[in-house]
Structure 1
Protein backbone atom coordinates (compact mmCIF):
# COMPACT_ATOMS: atom_id res chain seq x y z
CA UNK A 1 0.00 0.00 0.00
CA UNK A 2 1.40 3.40 -0.95
CA UNK A 3 2.00 5.92 1.81
CA UNK A 4 3.71 9.21 2.60
CA UNK A 5 7.31 8.02 2.28
CA UNK A 6 6.76 5.13 -0.11
CA UNK A 7 4.28 6.21 -2.77
CA UNK A 8 4.62 3.18 -5.04
CA UNK A 9 1.18 1.77 -5.86
CA UNK A 10 -0.51 -0.80 -8.01
CA UNK A 11 -2.93 0.26 -10.74
CA UNK A 12 -5.75 -1.31 -8.73
CA UNK A 13 -4.90 1.00 -5.83
CA UNK A 14 -5.33 4.19 -7.87
CA UNK A 15 -8.44 3.20 -9.82
CA UNK A 16 -10.82 4.87 -7.33
CA UNK A 17 -9.13 8.24 -7.90
CA UNK A 18 -10.57 8.44 -11.43
CA UNK A 19 -14.23 9.41 -11.62
CA UNK A 20 -16.71 10.45 -14.29
CA UNK A 21 -16.99 14.22 -14.81
CA UNK A 22 -13.61 14.92 -13.23
CA UNK A 23 -10.94 17.38 -14.37
CA UNK A 24 -7.81 15.59 -15.56
CA UNK A 25 -4.53 17.32 -16.36
CA UNK A 26 -1.85 15.50 -18.33
CA UNK A 27 1.72 15.96 -19.43
CA UNK A 28 2.89 15.29 -22.95
CA UNK A 29 3.44 16.84 -26.36
CA UNK A 30 1.87 14.97 -29.25
CA UNK A 31 1.84 11.86 -27.10
CA UNK A 32 5.53 12.06 -26.12
CA UNK A 33 5.68 12.42 -22.35
CA UNK A 34 2.13 11.23 -21.73
CA UNK A 35 1.73 8.22 -19.38
CA UNK A 36 0.62 5.38 -21.68
CA UNK A 37 -0.36 2.75 -19.11
CA UNK A 38 -2.42 5.17 -17.03
CA UNK A 39 -4.27 6.34 -20.15
CA UNK A 40 -4.92 2.75 -21.19
CA UNK A 41 -6.19 2.03 -17.68
CA UNK A 42 -8.61 4.97 -17.83
CA UNK A 43 -9.96 3.47 -21.04
CA UNK A 44 -10.35 0.08 -19.39
CA UNK A 45 -12.04 1.60 -16.33
CA UNK A 46 -14.63 3.25 -18.64
CA UNK A 47 -14.17 6.71 -17.11
CA UNK A 48 -16.15 9.27 -19.12
CA UNK A 49 -17.28 12.91 -19.39
CA UNK A 50 -13.80 14.17 -18.60
CA UNK A 51 -12.51 17.72 -18.79
CA UNK A 52 -8.87 17.39 -19.85
CA UNK A 53 -6.13 20.01 -19.68
CA UNK A 54 -2.87 19.67 -21.57
CA UNK A 55 -0.83 20.83 -24.51
CA UNK A 56 -2.79 19.00 -27.22
CA UNK A 57 -5.08 16.08 -27.97
CA UNK A 58 -2.37 13.78 -29.30
CA UNK A 59 -3.34 11.44 -32.11
CA UNK A 60 -6.42 9.20 -32.33
CA UNK A 61 -4.41 6.11 -31.36
CA UNK A 62 -1.66 7.77 -29.28
CA UNK A 63 -1.62 9.36 -25.84
CA UNK A 64 -4.57 11.30 -24.49
CA UNK A 65 -6.08 11.30 -27.98
CA UNK A 66 -7.35 7.79 -27.37
CA UNK A 67 -9.74 9.14 -24.72
CA UNK A 68 -10.99 11.77 -27.15
CA UNK A 69 -11.41 9.22 -29.94
CA UNK A 70 -13.42 6.98 -27.63
CA UNK A 71 -15.81 9.82 -26.67
CA UNK A 72 -14.67 9.93 -23.04
CA UNK A 73 -13.99 13.68 -23.07
CA UNK A 74 -16.55 16.48 -22.92
CA UNK A 75 -14.17 19.46 -22.74
CA UNK A 76 -10.57 20.14 -23.75
CA UNK A 77 -8.34 23.03 -22.70
CA UNK A 78 -5.32 22.89 -25.00
CA UNK A 79 -3.07 24.84 -27.35
CA UNK A 80 -4.11 22.85 -30.43
CA UNK A 81 -6.04 19.78 -31.56
CA UNK A 82 -4.85 19.63 -35.17
CA UNK A 83 -3.01 16.32 -34.86
CA UNK A 84 -6.24 14.57 -33.87
CA UNK A 85 -8.86 14.85 -36.64
CA UNK A 86 -11.44 13.14 -34.44
CA UNK A 87 -11.17 16.00 -31.95
CA UNK A 88 -11.78 18.47 -34.76
CA UNK A 89 -14.80 16.57 -35.99
CA UNK A 90 -16.31 16.32 -32.52
CA UNK A 91 -15.79 20.04 -31.97
CA UNK A 92 -17.46 20.88 -35.31
CA UNK A 93 -20.39 18.63 -34.42
CA UNK A 94 -20.82 20.35 -31.06
CA UNK A 95 -19.96 17.16 -29.16
CA UNK A 96 -16.68 18.43 -27.71
CA UNK A 97 -16.13 21.80 -26.06
CA UNK A 98 -12.68 23.17 -26.84
CA UNK A 99 -10.98 26.11 -25.13
CA UNK A 100 -7.85 27.15 -27.00
CA UNK A 101 -4.98 28.82 -25.21
CA UNK A 102 -1.66 29.76 -26.86
CA UNK A 103 1.00 27.26 -25.85
CA UNK A 104 3.09 29.61 -23.71
CA UNK A 105 0.01 31.07 -22.06
CA UNK A 106 -1.34 27.59 -21.38
CA UNK A 107 1.92 26.62 -19.68
CA UNK A 108 1.86 29.82 -17.61
CA UNK A 109 -1.76 29.25 -16.59
CA UNK A 110 -0.83 25.76 -15.36
CA UNK A 111 2.28 27.11 -13.61
CA UNK A 112 0.17 29.82 -11.96
CA UNK A 113 -2.21 27.18 -10.66
CA UNK A 114 0.74 25.23 -9.31
CA UNK A 115 2.14 28.14 -7.30
CA UNK A 116 -1.20 29.32 -5.96
CA UNK A 117 -1.85 32.35 -8.17
CA UNK A 118 -5.33 33.13 -9.44
CA UNK A 119 -4.12 33.90 -12.93
CA UNK A 120 -1.82 35.93 -15.14
CA UNK A 121 -2.15 39.01 -17.33
CA UNK A 122 -0.89 39.12 -20.91
CA UNK A 123 -1.04 41.10 -24.14
CA UNK A 124 -1.09 37.93 -26.20
CA UNK A 125 -4.48 37.42 -27.84
CA UNK A 126 -5.93 40.70 -26.62
CA UNK A 127 -6.80 41.74 -30.20
CA UNK A 128 -8.02 38.29 -31.21
CA UNK A 129 -11.84 38.13 -31.01
CA UNK A 130 -11.71 34.37 -30.47
CA UNK A 131 -9.07 34.36 -27.73
CA UNK A 132 -10.37 37.42 -25.88
CA UNK A 133 -14.01 36.34 -25.91
CA UNK A 134 -15.38 36.62 -22.38
CA UNK A 135 -11.96 37.55 -20.94
CA UNK A 136 -11.53 40.39 -18.48
CA UNK A 137 -9.36 43.31 -19.64
CA UNK A 138 -7.21 44.96 -16.98
CA UNK A 139 -5.35 48.26 -17.33
CA UNK A 140 -1.83 48.41 -15.90
CA UNK A 141 0.24 51.60 -16.22
CA UNK A 142 -2.09 52.81 -18.93
CA UNK A 143 -1.86 49.66 -21.04
CA UNK A 144 -4.56 47.01 -21.49
CA UNK A 145 -3.88 43.38 -20.57
CA UNK A 146 -6.05 40.30 -20.74
CA UNK A 147 -6.60 38.25 -17.59
CA UNK A 148 -6.07 34.52 -18.02
CA UNK A 149 -7.27 32.38 -15.13
CA UNK A 150 -4.96 29.83 -13.53
CA UNK A 151 -5.55 26.16 -14.29
CA UNK A 152 -5.68 23.32 -11.77
CA UNK A 153 -7.11 19.82 -11.80
CA UNK A 154 -8.44 17.17 -9.48
CA UNK A 155 -5.93 14.64 -10.81
CA UNK A 156 -2.76 15.11 -12.82
CA UNK A 157 -1.05 12.26 -14.67
CA UNK A 158 2.68 12.54 -15.31
CA UNK A 159 5.24 10.40 -17.15
CA UNK A 160 8.80 10.19 -15.83
CA UNK A 161 11.97 8.35 -16.81
CA UNK A 162 12.88 7.57 -13.20
CA UNK A 163 11.27 7.96 -9.79
CA UNK A 164 12.32 7.11 -6.27
CA UNK A 165 9.83 5.93 -3.61
CA UNK A 166 9.28 9.49 -2.35
CA UNK A 167 8.38 10.71 -5.84
CA UNK A 168 11.45 12.65 -6.90
CA UNK A 169 11.39 12.58 -10.69
CA UNK A 170 13.82 12.56 -13.60
CA UNK A 171 12.51 13.06 -17.14
CA UNK A 172 13.80 11.88 -20.50
CA UNK A 173 14.83 14.81 -22.70
CA UNK A 174 11.84 16.42 -24.45
CA UNK A 175 9.43 14.07 -22.68
CA UNK A 176 9.88 16.49 -19.80
CA UNK A 177 7.72 19.12 -21.60
CA UNK A 178 4.73 20.11 -19.40
CA UNK A 179 5.02 17.25 -16.90
CA UNK A 180 6.71 19.30 -14.13
CA UNK A 181 3.97 21.95 -14.32
CA UNK A 182 1.18 19.36 -14.28
CA UNK A 183 2.70 17.76 -11.18
CA UNK A 184 2.50 21.11 -9.37
CA UNK A 185 -1.00 22.13 -10.47
CA UNK A 186 -3.00 19.02 -9.55
CA UNK A 187 -4.72 18.19 -6.28
CA UNK A 188 -3.56 14.58 -6.70
CA UNK A 189 -0.53 13.80 -8.85
CA UNK A 190 -0.01 10.28 -10.16
CA UNK A 191 3.29 9.43 -11.82
CA UNK A 192 3.88 6.61 -14.25
CA UNK A 193 7.61 5.88 -14.15
CA UNK A 194 9.63 3.81 -16.59
CA UNK A 195 11.96 2.90 -13.73
CA UNK A 196 11.68 3.10 -9.96
CA UNK A 197 14.98 3.29 -8.08
CA UNK A 198 15.90 3.10 -4.42
CA UNK A 199 15.94 6.24 -2.28
CA UNK A 200 19.29 7.97 -2.68
CA UNK A 201 20.04 6.59 -6.15
CA UNK A 202 18.95 9.70 -8.03
CA UNK A 203 21.53 12.43 -8.53
CA UNK A 204 20.01 15.51 -6.85
CA UNK A 205 21.18 17.61 -9.82
CA UNK A 206 19.04 15.47 -12.15
CA UNK A 207 15.82 15.78 -10.15
CA UNK A 208 13.35 18.10 -11.87
CA UNK A 209 10.19 17.47 -9.85
CA UNK A 210 10.40 17.17 -6.09
CA UNK A 211 8.51 14.37 -4.40
CA UNK A 212 6.51 16.93 -2.42
CA UNK A 213 4.35 17.35 -5.53
CA UNK A 214 3.76 13.61 -6.04
CA UNK A 215 1.11 11.48 -4.35
CA UNK A 216 1.28 8.12 -6.11
CA UNK A 217 3.73 6.25 -8.36
CA UNK A 218 2.99 3.34 -10.66
CA UNK A 219 5.46 1.39 -12.77
CA UNK A 220 4.98 1.73 -16.51
CA UNK A 221 4.11 -1.40 -18.43
CA UNK A 222 6.11 -0.16 -21.39
CA UNK A 223 6.00 2.39 -24.15
CA UNK A 224 5.41 1.44 -27.77
CA UNK A 225 7.45 3.85 -29.85
CA UNK A 226 6.77 2.03 -33.16
CA UNK A 227 4.33 4.75 -34.20
CA UNK A 228 7.25 7.15 -34.67
CA UNK A 229 8.41 5.13 -37.67
CA UNK A 230 5.00 4.29 -39.11
Structure 2
Protein backbone atom coordinates (compact mmCIF):
# COMPACT_ATOMS: atom_id res chain seq x y z
CA UNK A 1 0.00 0.00 0.00
CA UNK A 2 1.41 3.38 -1.04
CA UNK A 3 0.88 5.67 1.96
CA UNK A 4 2.43 8.76 0.35
CA UNK A 5 0.20 11.81 -0.01
CA UNK A 6 0.62 14.59 -2.53
CA UNK A 7 0.51 17.37 0.06
CA UNK A 8 0.25 18.12 3.76
CA UNK A 9 -3.13 19.75 3.10
CA UNK A 10 -4.47 16.49 1.69
CA UNK A 11 -3.04 14.51 4.61
CA UNK A 12 -4.75 16.60 7.33
CA UNK A 13 -7.99 17.31 5.48
CA UNK A 14 -10.13 14.97 7.61
CA UNK A 15 -8.94 16.18 11.03
CA UNK A 16 -12.20 17.49 12.46
CA UNK A 17 -13.11 19.95 15.19
CA UNK A 18 -12.60 18.42 18.62
CA UNK A 19 -10.09 15.82 17.43
CA UNK A 20 -7.30 14.62 19.72
CA UNK A 21 -3.73 14.84 18.43
CA UNK A 22 -0.42 13.39 19.58
CA UNK A 23 2.32 15.65 18.24
CA UNK A 24 6.02 14.80 18.15
CA UNK A 25 8.93 17.07 18.93
CA UNK A 26 10.76 18.50 21.91
CA UNK A 27 10.80 22.28 22.02
CA UNK A 28 11.18 23.05 18.32
CA UNK A 29 13.40 20.02 17.64
CA UNK A 30 11.74 17.49 15.36
CA UNK A 31 8.35 19.19 15.25
CA UNK A 32 6.08 18.39 12.28
CA UNK A 33 5.99 22.06 11.31
CA UNK A 34 4.63 21.60 7.78
CA UNK A 35 1.72 19.48 9.03
CA UNK A 36 1.00 21.96 11.83
CA UNK A 37 0.78 24.85 9.36
CA UNK A 38 -1.40 22.76 7.04
CA UNK A 39 -3.75 22.03 9.93
CA UNK A 40 -3.80 25.73 10.80
CA UNK A 41 -4.82 26.55 7.21
CA UNK A 42 -7.40 23.72 7.26
CA UNK A 43 -9.28 25.39 10.13
CA UNK A 44 -9.95 22.61 12.66
CA UNK A 45 -10.55 23.94 16.16
CA UNK A 46 -11.30 22.78 19.73
CA UNK A 47 -8.32 20.41 19.43
CA UNK A 48 -7.05 18.24 22.29
CA UNK A 49 -3.27 18.09 21.98
CA UNK A 50 -0.85 15.65 23.61
CA UNK A 51 2.74 16.85 23.24
CA UNK A 52 5.78 17.37 25.44
CA UNK A 53 5.24 21.13 25.10
CA UNK A 54 3.08 23.47 23.03
CA UNK A 55 5.72 25.11 20.87
CA UNK A 56 6.74 28.69 21.51
CA UNK A 57 4.98 31.96 20.80
CA UNK A 58 4.13 32.01 17.10
CA UNK A 59 6.04 28.82 16.23
CA UNK A 60 5.22 25.14 16.24
CA UNK A 61 1.97 24.38 18.04
CA UNK A 62 2.07 27.99 19.22
CA UNK A 63 0.58 28.90 15.82
CA UNK A 64 -2.60 26.96 16.63
CA UNK A 65 -2.60 28.10 20.25
CA UNK A 66 -2.40 31.80 19.39
CA UNK A 67 -5.53 31.51 17.24
CA UNK A 68 -7.45 29.80 20.03
CA UNK A 69 -7.69 26.50 18.19
CA UNK A 70 -6.46 24.31 21.06
CA UNK A 71 -8.87 23.52 23.90
CA UNK A 72 -6.76 21.15 25.97
CA UNK A 73 -3.08 20.26 26.31
CA UNK A 74 -1.54 17.20 27.95
CA UNK A 75 2.17 17.85 28.29
CA UNK A 76 5.22 18.18 30.50
CA UNK A 77 6.57 21.65 29.91
CA UNK A 78 4.95 25.10 29.82
CA UNK A 79 7.97 27.40 29.52
CA UNK A 80 8.97 29.42 26.42
CA UNK A 81 5.32 30.24 25.61
CA UNK A 82 3.80 33.33 27.23
CA UNK A 83 0.51 32.91 25.36
CA UNK A 84 0.20 29.39 26.74
CA UNK A 85 0.58 30.71 30.29
CA UNK A 86 -1.88 33.54 29.66
CA UNK A 87 -4.59 31.24 28.29
CA UNK A 88 -4.09 28.73 31.09
CA UNK A 89 -4.23 31.27 33.91
CA UNK A 90 -7.23 33.07 32.39
CA UNK A 91 -9.26 29.87 32.09
CA UNK A 92 -9.22 29.68 28.29
CA UNK A 93 -7.12 26.52 28.15
CA UNK A 94 -7.28 23.22 30.04
CA UNK A 95 -3.85 21.80 30.89
CA UNK A 96 -2.87 18.40 32.27
CA UNK A 97 0.76 18.46 33.35
CA UNK A 98 2.41 15.03 33.39
CA UNK A 99 5.93 14.00 34.48
CA UNK A 100 7.97 13.75 31.29
CA UNK A 101 8.90 10.08 31.59
CA UNK A 102 5.32 9.22 32.49
CA UNK A 103 4.04 11.04 29.41
CA UNK A 104 6.46 9.12 27.21
CA UNK A 105 5.37 5.79 28.69
CA UNK A 106 1.66 6.66 28.46
CA UNK A 107 2.08 7.26 24.72
CA UNK A 108 4.13 4.10 24.25
CA UNK A 109 1.63 2.07 26.24
CA UNK A 110 -1.21 3.37 24.09
CA UNK A 111 0.56 2.22 20.96
CA UNK A 112 1.43 -1.17 22.48
CA UNK A 113 -2.12 -1.90 23.59
CA UNK A 114 -1.29 -1.67 27.30
CA UNK A 115 -4.23 0.03 29.06
CA UNK A 116 -2.37 1.22 32.16
CA UNK A 117 0.81 0.76 34.19
CA UNK A 118 2.24 1.50 37.62
CA UNK A 119 5.09 3.96 38.13
CA UNK A 120 6.81 5.46 41.20
CA UNK A 121 6.87 8.92 39.56
CA UNK A 122 4.47 11.25 41.35
CA UNK A 123 3.85 9.13 44.43
CA UNK A 124 3.30 11.35 47.46
CA UNK A 125 2.52 14.42 45.34
CA UNK A 126 -0.58 15.99 43.79
CA UNK A 127 0.08 13.88 40.72
CA UNK A 128 -1.20 10.93 42.77
CA UNK A 129 -3.36 12.72 45.36
CA UNK A 130 -5.20 14.85 42.82
CA UNK A 131 -5.95 18.54 43.04
CA UNK A 132 -3.65 19.80 40.30
CA UNK A 133 -5.34 22.71 38.50
CA UNK A 134 -6.44 21.54 35.06
CA UNK A 135 -8.53 24.61 34.36
CA UNK A 136 -9.01 27.94 36.10
CA UNK A 137 -12.15 30.06 36.05
CA UNK A 138 -12.00 33.55 34.58
CA UNK A 139 -11.78 35.02 38.10
CA UNK A 140 -8.70 32.91 38.91
CA UNK A 141 -10.44 30.33 41.07
CA UNK A 142 -10.03 26.63 40.42
CA UNK A 143 -12.63 25.30 37.97
CA UNK A 144 -11.36 21.76 37.21
CA UNK A 145 -8.84 19.79 39.26
CA UNK A 146 -7.10 16.50 38.55
CA UNK A 147 -8.73 13.46 40.20
CA UNK A 148 -6.88 11.23 42.67
CA UNK A 149 -5.19 8.18 41.18
CA UNK A 150 -5.04 4.62 42.39
CA UNK A 151 -1.85 3.67 44.21
CA UNK A 152 -0.58 0.25 45.13
CA UNK A 153 2.40 -1.23 46.92
CA UNK A 154 4.83 -3.66 45.27
CA UNK A 155 7.84 -5.03 47.15
CA UNK A 156 7.46 -2.43 49.90
CA UNK A 157 7.34 0.48 47.47
CA UNK A 158 4.34 2.61 46.53
CA UNK A 159 3.36 3.12 42.87
CA UNK A 160 0.70 5.17 41.10
CA UNK A 161 -1.49 3.87 38.29
CA UNK A 162 -1.23 5.82 35.03
CA UNK A 163 -3.50 5.28 32.04
CA UNK A 164 -2.28 4.88 28.47
CA UNK A 165 -2.89 7.60 25.89
CA UNK A 166 -4.35 7.04 22.44
CA UNK A 167 -5.42 9.85 20.12
CA UNK A 168 -7.50 10.25 16.97
CA UNK A 169 -4.48 11.45 14.97
CA UNK A 170 -0.73 11.81 15.39
CA UNK A 171 1.54 14.30 13.60
CA UNK A 172 5.25 13.49 13.47
CA UNK A 173 8.42 14.34 11.54
CA UNK A 174 11.03 11.86 10.35
CA UNK A 175 14.36 12.13 8.57
CA UNK A 176 13.68 9.34 6.07
CA UNK A 177 10.62 7.28 5.30
CA UNK A 178 9.38 4.92 2.60
CA UNK A 179 6.00 4.57 0.93
CA UNK A 180 5.09 1.75 3.32
CA UNK A 181 5.40 4.15 6.27
CA UNK A 182 8.64 2.82 7.77
CA UNK A 183 10.43 5.75 9.44
CA UNK A 184 13.94 6.70 10.47
CA UNK A 185 14.51 9.58 12.91
CA UNK A 186 17.75 11.53 13.12
CA UNK A 187 19.52 12.57 16.30
CA UNK A 188 17.48 14.84 18.60
CA UNK A 189 14.37 14.45 16.41
CA UNK A 190 14.10 10.90 17.80
CA UNK A 191 12.49 12.41 20.89
CA UNK A 192 8.72 12.10 21.26
CA UNK A 193 8.15 11.40 17.56
CA UNK A 194 8.19 7.56 17.67
CA UNK A 195 6.01 7.53 20.80
CA UNK A 196 3.48 10.02 19.43
CA UNK A 197 3.32 8.02 16.19
CA UNK A 198 2.51 4.85 18.13
CA UNK A 199 -0.34 6.51 20.03
CA UNK A 200 -2.28 7.86 17.04
CA UNK A 201 -5.06 5.85 15.44
CA UNK A 202 -4.22 7.68 12.20
CA UNK A 203 -0.57 8.73 12.11
CA UNK A 204 0.66 11.26 9.56
CA UNK A 205 4.41 11.61 9.07
CA UNK A 206 6.20 14.36 7.20
CA UNK A 207 9.54 13.04 5.95
CA UNK A 208 12.58 14.95 4.81
CA UNK A 209 13.46 12.21 2.32
CA UNK A 210 10.99 9.77 0.79
CA UNK A 211 12.47 6.50 -0.51
CA UNK A 212 11.02 3.42 -2.14
CA UNK A 213 10.10 0.25 -0.21
CA UNK A 214 13.21 -1.86 0.27
CA UNK A 215 15.62 1.09 0.23
CA UNK A 216 15.75 1.23 4.04
CA UNK A 217 17.84 -1.36 5.81
CA UNK A 218 15.43 -3.09 8.23
CA UNK A 219 18.01 -2.67 10.99
CA UNK A 220 17.90 1.13 10.67
CA UNK A 221 14.11 1.48 10.85
CA UNK A 222 13.09 3.12 14.13
CA UNK A 223 9.33 2.87 13.62
CA UNK A 224 7.69 0.19 11.46
CA UNK A 225 5.05 1.20 8.95
CA UNK A 226 2.29 -0.63 10.85
CA UNK A 227 2.05 2.51 13.02
CA UNK A 228 1.90 4.98 10.10
CA UNK A 229 -1.05 5.57 7.78
CA UNK A 230 0.05 8.61 5.73
CA UNK A 231 3.43 9.93 4.58
CA UNK A 232 4.03 13.46 3.28
CA UNK A 233 7.33 14.05 1.44
CA UNK A 234 8.82 17.48 2.10
CA UNK A 235 10.43 19.73 -0.48
CA UNK A 236 14.15 20.46 0.01
CA UNK A 237 13.24 23.94 1.28
CA UNK A 238 10.74 22.55 3.78
CA UNK A 239 13.21 19.92 4.96
CA UNK A 240 15.90 22.56 5.54
CA UNK A 241 13.64 25.05 7.35
CA UNK A 242 14.37 24.00 10.93
CA UNK A 243 13.86 26.45 13.74
CA UNK A 244 15.95 26.97 16.87
CA UNK A 245 14.53 28.29 20.12
CA UNK A 246 17.76 29.82 21.44
CA UNK A 247 20.73 30.24 19.13
CA UNK A 248 24.01 30.45 21.00
CA UNK A 249 27.33 30.62 19.18
CA UNK A 250 30.90 31.32 20.14
CA UNK A 251 33.29 33.61 18.29
CA UNK A 252 35.03 31.70 15.53
CA UNK A 253 38.34 33.28 16.49
CA UNK A 254 38.24 31.56 19.88
CA UNK A 255 36.75 28.24 18.85
CA UNK A 256 39.33 25.55 19.46
CA UNK A 257 41.94 28.02 20.68
CA UNK A 258 44.44 26.81 23.25
CA UNK A 259 45.01 29.20 26.21
CA UNK A 260 48.49 30.69 26.29
Q: TM-score range by the shorter chain?
A: over 0.9
- Separation in 2 of the partners of 1:131 and 1:137? 7
Q: Which structure 2 residues correspond to residues 1-12 of structure 1 after superposition, within 5 A?
A: 5-10=1-6, 11-12=8-9
| 2:112 pairs with one of 106, 110, 115 | 115
Counterpart contact for 1:28–1:178, Cα < 8 Å: yes
Q: Structure 1 length as normaliser, TM-score?
A: 0.92
Say if 2:73 is the partner of 1:59.
no
State how far apart, in whole Å, the 2-side matches of 1:131 and 1:63 are. Answer: 31
Q: Which moved more, 1:28-37 or 1:129-138?
A: 129-138
Runs of 4 or more above 6 Å deviation:
none
Q: What residue number does 1:48 align with?
A: 45
1:88 — aligned with what?
85
Aligned CA distance change for structure 1 residues 172 and 77 (closer, same or farther; 3 Å): same
Q: CA deviation at 1:66?
A: 1.6
Distance 1:83 1:48 in 2: 23
Distance 1:115 1:57, change over 3 A: same
1:171 aligns with 2:188: no
1:128 maps onto 2:129 in alignment: no
Deviations 1:130-187 (CA, angstroms, capped at 9, x unpaired): 5531222223345432111111100001100111110111112111101111111111
Residue in structure 1 matched with residue 219 of structure 2 by the alignment: 205
Report Cα offsets for 1:18-62 as digits up to 9, x if no partner. Answer: 111010001000021111111001111111111100111121122
Aligned to 2:15: 18
Structure 2 residues not aligned, in runs of 5+: 131-147, 249-260
Please give the residue correspondences for 1:183-198 in structure 2 after superposition, counting only pairs within 5 Å: 183-198=197-212
Kindly tell me the number of residue pairs found equivalent between the two proteins.
226
Q: Partner residue of 2:172?
A: 158
RMSD after superposition: 1.7
Distance (whole Å) between structure 2 residues aligned to residue 39 and residue 226 of structure 1: 14
Q: Match of 2:103, SS?
A: helix
1:138 — aligned with what?
152
* TM-score, reference length from structure 2: 0.82
Is residue 2:40 matched to residue 1:71? no
Q: Using a 3 Å threshold, how does the CA distance of structure 1 residues 114 and 163 change in structure 2: closer, same or farther?
A: same
Quote the Cα distance in structure 1 between the aligned partners of 2:108 and 2:12. 26
Helix, strand or coil at the partner of 2:218? coil
Partner of 2:251: none
Q: Distance in 1 between matches of 2:12 and 2:165?
A: 24
Contact 1:100 1:131 in 2 (8 A): no
